[in-house]
Structure 1
Amino acid sequence: MTAAEFVGAEKAREPAEQWAGIAATPLRFLHPSHIAACFNGVVTPKAAEQLAASPRIAKRLERLVADHHGLPAFPGEMAVDDGDLRLMRMSSDEFQEFAWSAGAIYWAHVLSGEIRANAVAALKEIVGEATFTLALAHRDLAGGEPKPDDPEALREHVQRDGDACLASWYASMPPALHAWLRLKLPEDYSLAPPASAEKREKCLAIARRLAQSGDAADIADGRQ
């Protein structure tokens, strides 16, 4: 094996090992309410989360959850990139924080369009100071839609379009994962991608960029 072949094999092995870790314990990445639902109200989501972290019952619990929700077997192997792996490993709360950050990027043209100190402070109050800075760093991907009439409308638009970014990424993933990915989020969380093909492409580009960035690593590590 040449040096170049060795380096290539090592790079390929790392994602494969990460995927194997996800496939070994997929319940750790689901929203606990979906695990609790298998116990007909006897187990709370908090208790379900603790059960999912127990190696002793992991496989039995995985079979129970799969049967209850009609899930296919979790793929033992899957060709995905580093950004996909990072999103797969996120908890439900981190997944939703990722969506919020993606929505802020979509509206970065509005966030970056103010120079008045009081207006900038108001925008930071809406999206969060760290998210404001993150969005400006990726403002080349902003959606360019008309500015909302008031700050509260902007908050709603950031949430809506962040969800659209997450949904566009979800739709791009292999169908074998869709049922499992849906359970990373609360039952009432929408994963419907935008109707417009142009907006779907924009939202997917934002999700892909953010997932590959150090900003997503900060979200996953709780630093955002």
Structure 2
Amino acid sequence: MSRTGIGASPQTTTTNALSFLHPSRIAAALDQRLTAETIRKLQNCRRLEQRLAAQMKPGLVAQDLWPIPASADFLACPANPQAVARLAGAIWHAASLRLVVTGKAAAELVATIGEKAFAFGLRHAAASVGPAQAIGPSELAHAIDRDGLACLGAWLAGEAKPRRDAVLLRLSPEDTEQARQFSPEHMTACQSVMTIVMAEGETS
């Protein structure tokens, strides 16, 4: 898996590995009422690292995401896999995106998936995988996220577990589950789609 130009994290290998995890995973292990600021402090507190990891272990074991990878594994992988997946989904449904280029529907779609993903999909319309469908912006946005995550998951399937988990742990549990729901079609197309996405560089 090439890691060239993927928006690597500025953190160093001495960083607490828990600091890379999606905040919702910390909240799920401790208390859903925790604020974002409190979660950030907990994730970056080396004194609490082992205790917090022990609290998270049962849930991560159940999701086949244990042990938590080392910081080096996180640093070698995409810093923002959600953004990576959305660009992949924009390519996947680029043919449909081309049917929604102006007006209120386009504005609604941009508000949901972001201007970068919208423009990226249009720019790479020739690599579209899905057929052109005239569907509503909210349904198309959902399809972009769904197939983008599935494409990311298919791309990760052949990776060693620490590298694969380092990407999945940056996602919410819901997005991780979606990334695991890939089909043979995603397996067939993921390499060509993700090669384009990785060439984009910074994806955050």
Q: What is the TM-score of this pair, normalised by structure 2?
A: 0.70
CA deviations on 1:36-78 (whole Å, 9 max, x unpaired) are: 3343x28725222221123x42643564356443422625766
Q: 1:36 to 1:75 in 2, by over 3 A?
A: same
- How far apart in 2 are the matches of 1:21 and 1:85? 11
Alignment match, 1:164: 150
Alignment of 1:19-168 (within 5 A): 21-22=12-13, 24-39=15-30, 41=31, 44=34, 46=36, 47-54=38-45, 56-57=46-47, 59-61=49-51, 63-64=53-54, 67-68=57-58, 69-70=60-61, 71-72=66-67, 74-75=69-70, 85-87=76-78, 89-90=79-80, 95-113=81-99, 117-118=102-103, 122-127=105-110, 128-168=114-154
- How far apart in 2 are the matches of 1:136 and 1:42? 38
Partner SS state of residue 57, structure 1: helix
Are 1:188 and 2:174 counterparts? yes
Q: What is the TM-score of this pair, normalised by structure 1?
A: 0.65
Partner SS state of residue 74, structure 1: coil
**Native 8 Å contact 1:164 1:193 kept in 2:** yes
Q: Give the deviation of 1:107 after TM superposition.
A: 1.3
Larger relative contact order (CA 8 Å, sep ≥ 6): 2
- How far apart in 2 are the matches of 1:204 and 1:20? 28
State the number of aligned residues: 186
CA deviations on 1:90-110 (whole Å, 9 max, x unpaired) are: 3xxxx3233222211111122
**Native 8 Å contact 1:102 1:210 kept in 2:** yes
Q: 1:152 to 1:163 in 2, by over 3 A?
A: same
Report % sequence identity.
Answer: 24
* Structure possessing the higher radius of gyration over alpha carbons: 1
Partner SS state of residue 162, structure 1: helix
- How far apart in 2 are the matches of 1:73 and 1:98? 21
Structure 1 stretches of at least 4 aligned residues deviating more than 6 Å after TM superposition? 17-20
Provide structure 1 residue ranges, at least 5 long, that are not aligned to the other structure. Answer: 1-16
Provide structure 2 residue ranges, at least 5 long, that are not aligned to the other structure. Answer: 1-7
**Native 8 Å contact 2:99 2:134 kept in 1:** no
What amino acid sits opposite 1:194 in the alignment?
Answer: F
Q: Give the deviation of 1:183 after TM superposition.
A: 2.5
**Native 8 Å contact 1:124 1:132 kept in 2:** no
- How far apart in 2 are the matches of 1:18 and 1:153? 32
- How far apart in 2 are the matches of 1:158 and 1:42? 28
